[in-house]
Structure 1
């Protein structure tokens, strides 16, 4: 066994940076509906999610083994700099979609980055195509459909059961249920997504000859990956939380409970089977299903369509970025340095751009303003278009002061 080299150390740090972006990118998966319905305050919600993400990282290693020895052939001659380039591709795509407020898949960004880098570095024989199809692509298509159908049925059932109950008591009860189900989704997210970074770090350690092929992630890898994701979760991906909580459908507590319960079931079952699915796909499908399941709910299919488009291009887009990064990193130490500097510049640029239209815990539940000041009326909130490139509900009509009064019928 060899000692830890500087390059492998850089790969590990970059993998943890990706895990951090995964945390704040995917916080919405667990907490968006809980925050949007007021079941928990935003800060308390992300804090609870962070703790449970860390706990979930210790529950299983099946998904980590899918990454380290399932999708990529660890004996194909893949080198640490290739893994580094793949991670850079994934981080760049995560930041782009975060800026746009789009709940795209951090998991598929990672898969795309690793696959694109491997194809350039060692060729097609370095990728297990069958594993990609069976454990990535098929779950990517099936999981949101299954979660959406389950959430739609559960939503219809909850409203039917509670149709004669006191509305206020019902809302309070389901808000408590939302907190419990959101905690379960957070635990499931740590179980599935934190393992992906564990798998990448394990793959880097194997390629560096530090641990034997087929090894489980060491305890320090599990702890560091879980901690990085927990920190990212606590930061809060407020832009994406707003999209899932307000941009797809108007979520009521019954819907939030149904969506989160269905999503958690699908994620935990997939983690047990070693399927490296996207928690973003699952939760987004569940939220849409909850909108379909509630009679009279507004489902914003335009936003859903833009999300679906981002899902389709995530894997190839991250792969292309990673392929270019690999071509540069393969030139030697200076190439790795150039890729690292460019990655840092992208991170800095994303942060600067985000400050121009800041979304945080203080305004995550606000409906975006028209004309930059006054809040939208309920009618506008239902009719507004979601700007995929600004991450906010865009104004599409004159300011409220000039608009006609909103009637009860229009607001619904």
Structure 2
């Protein structure tokens, strides 16, 4: 008697199936023609009995079946239980010998050829997620960390998903949701949802190729979901879509998370973390274990957090901020951010509240655009005076002086240092 695991490939190659997954085992009789060239046929009497753990369900007939003739195949279709199992034995034994069609005597079965066994385990499938945001945005020339109020379809995170060690004739991998969390920069504390409500109008999830095409063609990308940010939205936020994004189990798929900013959004910096993805192959209630490329669960992974991004107004006075404020404990320096309408000379000075000059930084011919200590250490104050000594804890004044083609403007903000 012969027997093989017929499907799926994870069972054939890896001896495991997913919770709730169906699989097939095929059995058949083969005559040994090494001694006899023309083997006589067989008649009734050949029976095979399957023995298996009762947590597995046989879904296409009884556990005892009859063979009709040589090389006829009996297919046994099982469904795995909905929980994780260690290796479980499946045994198939001849419990009734076939009869020779001429002599009506039982056919001789040598050795242990009348029994075949397999061990199968039920394992949670794994999805590996890789954050490729920075490299992809760099290739597209979209490396900005600062965005204008009202900007639409801004890509915050681009990532690949893969279910490794599988083949395409297993059921497809399906994605139908994810959990995102908006964080305060540096501290990585969860942002107040009310800030997100004022900041964003939509969160969009799209296939990356549609997004890339839209960037080149200047059209709206095709989305899996266009999620409005309502006043009731929580942080973290679980986003689900009705039609799953499906892809072959042996391939990579690439997706992008985008946001659209409100026109009256506040000046705000934040980071985005992906905490989880809903992935499954057979049963939507039996989801995959989702990890980063190092094997860490997503919500425990630092690799699935974006760099800080900020919204700014096209107004020099409003764009000018220092952060964190206060600084000195969680971060040893304050970032100074400002917007230049054109090439300008820039002077930044720190004063005490009584007007004593503490620190000065001067840059000539600075270029148009946003400048920020996060990306350029030139625009950081580390709480020291011009002599290199630490200042006392307290509130100081940060004065920004911009001298450009349109004249000279000066703006002042308060900044607190607490060590």
Shared fold (TM-score, shorter chain, > 0.5):
no
Structure with larger Rg: 2
| TM-score normalized with structure 1 length | 0.25
Structure (1/2) with the larger helix percentage: 1
Query: Which structure shows the bigger proportion of residues in strand conformation?
Result: 2
